[in-house]
Amino acid sequence: MRSWEIFRFEIAYQYRRVSTWLYFIVLLTLTYYMATEIYIDNARSDGYFFNAPFVIAVMTVLGSLMGLLSATRLAGDAAARDVQTRMDPLFYTTPVGKAAYLRGRFLAAFVLYAVILLAMPLGLLLAAVVPGPEAELIGPFRPAAYLGAYLFLALPNAFVATAFLFSMAALGRRAMTSYLGSLLLFSVVVFSRGFVAGTLEWWELAKLLDPFGMTVLGELSRVWTPVEKSTRLIGLQGSLLLNRFLWIGIALGVLTLTHLRFRLAHHTAGAWWSRGARRADRETPMGDAIVHVAPRVRRTFGFATHARQMLTVARESFQEIVMSWGGLVLAGMAALAVVSGTQIEHMGVPLFATAERITAFLAAPLTSPQEVFGMIVPLLIVFYAGELVWREREARLSEITDAAPVPEWVYFLGKFVGLGLVLVALQALMMAAGMLIQVLLGHVDFQIGLYARILFGLQLPDYILFALLALAVHVLVNHKYVGHLVVAIAYAFMAFGPALGVEHNLLIYGSDPGRTYSDMRGFEPFIGPWLWFKFYWAGWALLLAVAATLLWISGKEADLGSRLALARRRLTRRAAGLAAAAVALILTLGGFIFYNTNVLNPYRTASDSLTWRAEYERRYGHYKGIRQPELTRANLRVEIYPGRREAEIRGTFHLVNTSPDAIDSVHLATKSAVNTTAVRFDRPAKNVLSDEEFGHRIHALETPLRPGESLQLDFELHFKPRGFPNRGMDASVVANGTYFTNDAWLPAIGYQADRELRSAGDRRKYRLAARPETPMLDDVEAHSDAGGAARIAFEAVVGTGESQVAVAPGRLRRTWTQGGRRYFHYAADVPIRNHYAFFSAAYAVHEGRWNDTSIEIFHHPTHAWNVDRMGRSIQASLDCYTQQFGRYPHGQLRFVEQPGDGVSLHASPVNISYEEGFSLLNPGGDPRDIDLPFAVVAHEVAHQWWGATLTPARVEGAAVLTESLAWYSALQVVERSLGPEHLRRLLSMMRGVYATPRTRAEVPLLRATDSFLTYRKGPFAMYALREYAGTEQVNTALRRLLERDGSGTPPLATSLDLYRELQAVIPQSLHYLLVDLFEANTFWELATQRVTAKQTETGTWQVTLDVKTRKVVVDTAGVETEVPMDDLIEVGVFTAAKAAGPGEPLYLQMHRLRSGEHRITVMVASKPARAGIDPRKLLIDVEGDDNLKEITRAEGQKR
Amino acid sequence: MEIQIRNLSKTYANGVHALKDVTLTIPHGMFGLLGPNGAGKSTLMRMIATLQEPDQGSIRFGDIDVLRQKDKVRETLGYLPQEFGVYPNVTAEQLLEHFAVLKGITDRRSRREIVDALLHQTNLYEVRKKKLGGYSGGMRQRFGVAVALLGDPKLIIVDEPTAGLDPAERVRFLNLLSELGEDAVVILSTHIVDDVSELCSRLAIIDKGTILLEAEPLQAVAAMRGRIWRRVIEKTELPELERAQSVISTKLLAGRTVVHVHSATSPGPGFDPVEPNLEDVYFTTMAGHYGGRGEQPVLEAAR
């Protein structure tokens, strides 16, 4: 019963403390706020209940993470308070016994934490009950959901967390070690969810590694349909059960270890690793009674001394952190950086480890907690700021130090500088790590200056500002644990401010509009505003520092009244001057920034943008579909001024009335990025409406435009950004790397339906008529909307800086220099889609040719590694596609590098742009030996047919005509140029997408809109068709499709047209396959259970396969229906696999199989090693790995 | 019940020989353990209090093997350590009741009685509802005594108890202790000689891990009679005097130096014979002229 007494006393002790309740209330509020602000949007847009069991479970796990801070305090206190208050001799000499003592304390900490975690379901209940969210978003109240989440998620998490933190504090004999424990736990959760599962995609390992179950839920989030999320309870099955067992077992093991190692005894100090090293410390006696007097020394006081003292304090603080566990953590981070940095890849292809890539990896912004160690550094700062501020008091030295003739600012500044030095050391370690990564990956172009600028010039100031905030808060809030809480809340605000509704960077401490570095653009144009913001926040930091110094705790008076009185007395002229300077800095810079972000530029929050779009639809939506003249020709004169970051365009549009009615007014949509002026028609017209805010103008023609008549529109536009907006600079025109599209700048005719709100949730919120996000497949009106497909004649003269090359669609007619500027005259050979871009940079050009098509690759001079490869791919693609689908209409094909560190490419007529990241792909280092850039280039070139020539209607399934066919075409090129083996490897890589957890509930391929269907399932389906029906047949269908619908005149093609063409070429016996692949969402479940082989007398082998087949159709709600099967499925027998690749096929034939279990017997000529059904995985089967099996010999065989 | 310590040795990990083959018998009653700082007193105390393990040797309390039956010892142990803290946010009454339960006093009514009695005894009854964080040093010490006395312990160990107390508190404390010696073994470990001389019926002197003397105070003092001499000198004369005589202690008196010298016969002119006290015994033993380091004591207590 001593155990009970210890338990009871501990509970009563913590129960009485304010911080316990503070944590409860904070957790409650946070849960409530997160649910109502963040999850409500998810629920609205993804279509599940806001109080769904799934949401409750996710919030519970998040709460376990957020509550770790309180668990740290409770467990650390319970375990180490006796030692830290030095009551241990009194406790240990009672007959309480080790087991009862530990058990009582641990259970008390666990129970308290479990009670605090009740704040989460409570907060969720409140959020669902207190009026706010729309009624239709609230599902039925299911106590089982709350109970289940609490019992299966919160309680085990609490047990694991308390076990670890308690053990660490008990064995370390300091509450501080439990802080490090919580940091470790937190990092493991984030690491397994974000990196192991998110980046490496090793989901099984990640689910086990994650002690809080976050990864398990993460997988469910991807696999469950919205209906499942709304209704299914999180139960103890499968991976969750395993995870709980494992971690509870680990926790029990840790507790047992603690029980064994803990001793109710006096502890002799001395770290175990220094025991041997130290010489015997003898107690030196006092000596004889004669006093030896120490010599007199001169002492100085004054500023120089104080400065030196400050440096001493700084050095002390630095050593304190680095020599303790903190140093290990820093070293660990560097090691972790090296390990994960060498893994950076895109779709499995390693990247060239340029300095730009590595620094982007290392220097994640302070407030992006998703990065691998994005959270660790702020947590370290929070923790060590507290340690530094409380150091003297905890060592009981404070009365001595307070009585020393040292002004307070010396201490504050010294500790700040010490912490700052630790951060500098961290950045130096990171730099070393980065260079090591580069060495390991074999790319030794170090660019130390870049490292220095990014790690020390950009990231370090963020850390320093945050460190000062942490220190100041700890001084002002004179309570260590509450201080930690406040800084943690401040950090959460900094990281999630926009999500919580605060978006202006003047209001979020330390924030700025963002900055990126790219090899082409450098730091431009983001550095200017970044600097202004940082100085502004430095002003605030200075003010905080002054406040902290004035309110520095000195002596025993700790209540607010005496501190304020003390502060008043400390207010020297210098302090007041500094404060005034800080305030002046804040006001002037703040004012300047505000002028830029709110006066020179419109300030728009995310919800403002939505409101704008809704209002646009409300005002002008009734003009949708009215007759407007069509653009047939664009003639542009573009002047780019890279140095000034300005551009202007003088343009002439030729419009024709292609409709059967007369048009009396022309609606012009102007773009907000530019200032459109001097709009003139070649006939009298009056400007009856000019809504600058919404970019809509109406010009009434004096004489209506008759059908067939044409109209000329002249305009001028200026791109001249003023100052900087809050959301970040517009980087369209920069010193090197200009890129803008016609959609972004040039005026458009008519009502812009693109501006409407798309998502159902948003439309409901703004009370607009419901509308499907993508028009339905059978929406005939959409088929006739030729918007995207209309062709225009294009001609442009582009002027740019002397050292740059400008690129626009069409043939380069001529280039000249005039007035210190270079000019390029482009004209398209044939009409192009009205979707193009302008580029200008100091490019290097790689030239090539295929027949009479010139091939040019414009690239940044140092990004030349893949250019040859790309050129070869373009040639091979042109060769293949011209033969299979028809002529490429233009005389030139270009790839142009555009600034940005992403890896995406975008196909426009004639010019295909690719981001800088793409040029960094290193297929030579790919262990799978797949030339991904080659394949991707082939895909993009294919878009010149699938997209530019054949432009589908904007309905469901449109992407099948563009993306799926483009990938299918690229597969052909890969096969022809790189060989069938290479194609097999590429397909294998693409099938890797099935390993990512996803739900099987999908629309059929004909209606596909999402990327998984259009980029993967579509090409797989086409490839399967090819293998079943024949390459020529399929290509014929595609050729016919292009011939019929490749003109761009409405009605535009849809996936149904492709389907009809395929139906025409594919034999009737295979039509079932067409239906299964395209019309229904069919999954085959094929498995080979056993294969045996027996050698016959004639030397041939008889192979027997036991297979199981099944076919299901899954609808969008996730309901699975088994359908009868009578399908042709390939059966194959192979020889033993050699070094790379599978063995040779001894037998590969189609068999007709029904559903159920079958035994198939085939004869082959030589010794087989593996066999199975659908060995090439042509059919859509999520579990493709069980198709092939190793052969075991039948019984009773001897030879 | 008495404590039998046999051949106790302990060397710390940093090389310090805290105890070297200590053999001691501590009988019933008040026992004083005298020695300078770093002599090994606290180490020895902690070992008897079950908080530390020796490298070698044994300790028996009656028929309980202290080293192996720690829990049995703790059932009847009261330990007041040299340094200890308290929970600042708890009241004396609450914490004392908590300890009472831990010491096995589970019945609520008898617990209340004992707690009240102890609070009265240590004169903390008036402030029993005050938080311990606000107690002065002396009050904290008294609280420690109250905890130590819970459960009527038969083995009471107090380690340097009067070091931080003002004169009045010290007298009160010693009075408190003297009442305890009746039916328990009370070990008082201190470097303040007066505490031992006032209270203890037996003492041991320990230095650098070895027992130098084990005797009864009165008899030890009697053995010194006629051997302690006193002289007042200038500070500068001291080194020469130290070379010539066995100076056992030096003190300051109104700015002049007073030396005590140990000698069988008069050391010379200017020296006056002095009635020895326990302090002289202590210094003489420490200087090596008496006890383990020098001549054997004239009288030994019966074992």
| CA–CA distances in Å: residue A146 to residues A58, A234, B107, B168, B250 | 11, 10, 41, 63, 79
Neighbouring residues of A449: CB distance < 8 A, sequence distance ≥ 6: none
Closest CB to B86: pick one of A87, A92, A280: A87
- At A394-448, the pLDDT tens digits run 877 887 888 888 888 889 999 999 999 999 999 999 999 999 999 988 888 888 8
A181-190, A1057-1066, B144-153, B173-182: range with highest mean pLDDT:
A1057-1066
Asked whether the beta carbons of residue A86 and residue B85 sit closer than 8 angstroms, the reply is yes
B79/chain A closest Cα distance in angstroms? 7
Spatial strand order in the sheet of B29-34: B77-80, B155-159, B185-190, B29-34, B202-207, B210-215
Q: Give me the pLDDT at residue A954, please.
A: 87
Q: Is the pLDDT of residue A134 over 80?
A: no
Question: Nearest 5 degrees, angle CA A1059-CA A994-CA A209?
Answer: 160
B77-96 residues touching A, CB cutoff 8 A: 77, 79, 81, 83-90
Q: Give me the pLDDT at residue A182, please.
A: 85
For the purposes of burial, counting CB atoms within 10 Å of the CB of A885, is it exposed (0-12), middle (13-18) or buried (19 or more)? buried
Q: Give me the pLDDT at residue B173, please.
A: 82
Q: Give me the pLDDT at residue A1140, please.
A: 55
Q: Give me the pLDDT at residue A275, please.
A: 45
Question: Nearest 5 degrees, angle CA A996-CA A999-CA A1003?
Answer: 120
Distance CA A784, CA A1023 (A): 30
Closest CB to B98: pick one of A5, A97, A279: A5
- At A494-533, the pLDDT tens digits run 888 887 778 898 999 988 888 888 999 999 889 999 999 9
Sign of the C-alpha dihedral computed for residues A363, A365, A368 and A369 taken in this order: positive
Q: What percentage of chain A carries pLDDT values higher than 90?
A: 46
- Widest distance between CA atoms in chain B: 71
Asked whether the beta carbons of residue B238 and residue A85 sit closer than 8 angstroms, the reply is no
Q: Give me the pLDDT at residue A270, please.
A: 52
Distance CA A1124, CA A1141 (A): 34
- At B59-108, the pLDDT tens digits run 999 899 998 888 889 989 999 998 888 998 899 999 999 999 888 888 88
Query: Does B99 contact A at CB distance below 8 Å?
Result: yes
First to last CA, chain A: 75
B99/chain A closest Cα distance in angstroms? 8
CB atoms < 10 A from the CB of A239, how many? Answer: 17
Q: Give me the pLDDT at residue B301, please.
A: 41
Q: Give me the pLDDT at residue A554, please.
A: 77
Q: Which residues of A247-284 are buried (b: 16+ CB within 10 A; e: fewer)?
A: bbeebeebbeebeeebebbbeeeeeeeeeeeeeeeeee
What residues of chain B lie within 8 A of the CB of A9, using their CB? 98
Q: If you average pLDDT over residues B51-56, what whole number do you get?
A: 90
Is A415 in contact with A384 (CB distance < 8 Å)? Answer: no
Closest CA to A656 of A634, A682, A635, A630: A630
What residues of chain A lie within 8 A of the CB of B15, using their CB? 278-282
- Give A199 or A157, the one with higher predicted confidence: A157
Asked whether the beta carbons of residue B101 and residue A16 sit closer than 8 angstroms, the reply is no
Mean of the per-residue pLDDT values of chain A: 87
Distance CA A758, CA A772 (A): 8
* Alpha-carbon A650 to chain mean position: 39
Q: If you average pLDDT over residues B139-143, what whole number do you get?
A: 88
Taking phi over 0 as left and psi of -120 to 50 as alpha, with beta for the rest, B60 belongs to beta
Q: Give me the pLDDT at residue A1049, please.
A: 79
Asked whether the beta carbons of residue A289 and residue B36 sit closer than 8 angstroms, the reply is no
Closest CA to A344 of A917, A748, A1006, A881: A917
Q: Give me the pLDDT at residue A9, please.
A: 93
Asked whether the beta carbons of residue B250 and residue A16 sit closer than 8 angstroms, the reply is no
- Give A377 or A253, the one with higher predicted confidence: A253
Side-chain half-sphere CA neighbours of A862 within 13 A: 11
- Give A229 or A1139, the one with higher predicted confidence: A229
Structure tokens at A1059: 């389907």
Which of the four pLDDT bands, split at 50, 70 and 90, describes residue A1195? Answer: very low
Question: Nearest 5 degrees, angle CA A406-CA A411-CA A415?
Answer: 155
Asked whether the beta carbons of residue B12 and residue A268 sit closer than 8 angstroms, the reply is yes
Structure tokens at A1097: 């007398």
Asked whether the beta carbons of residue B88 and residue A85 sit closer than 8 angstroms, the reply is yes
Nearest CA in chain B to A99: B71
Closest CA to B124 of B88, B184, B173: B173
Amino acid at the residue A983: L
Looking at the DSSP bridge assignments, the partners of residue A1145 are A1134
Q: Is the pLDDT of residue A892 over 70?
A: yes
Axis crossing angle, helix A175-190 with helix A325-341, rounded to the nearest 10: 10
Distance CA B56, CA A893 (A): 91
Helix (H) or strand (E) segment spanning residue A1133: strand A1126-1134
Q: Is the pLDDT of residue A615 over 90?
A: yes
- At A268-294, the pLDDT tens digits run 765 444 444 444 444 455 555 556 677
Is A110 in contact with A74 (CB distance < 8 Å)? Answer: no
Q: Which residues of A1165-1194 are buried (b: 16+ CB within 10 A; e: fewer)?
A: eeebbbbbbbbbbbbbbeebebbbbebeee
Q: If you average pLDDT over residues A618-634, what whole number do you get?
A: 91
- At A2-28, the pLDDT tens digits run 889 999 999 999 988 888 888 899 889
Distance CA A611, CA B275 (A): 103
A390-394, A1138-1142, A1154-1158: range with highest mean pLDDT:
A1154-1158
Distance CA B49, CA B73 (A): 8
**DSSP letter, residue B246:** -
What residues of chain A lie within 8 A of the CB of B75, using their CB? 95
Asked whether the beta carbons of residue B53 and residue A13 sit closer than 8 angstroms, the reply is no
pTM metric for this prediction: 0.83
3-state secondary structure of A52: coil
What residues of chain B lie within 8 A of the CB of A266, using their CB? 46, 51-52
Neighbouring residues of A720: CB distance < 8 A, sequence distance ≥ 6: A646, A675
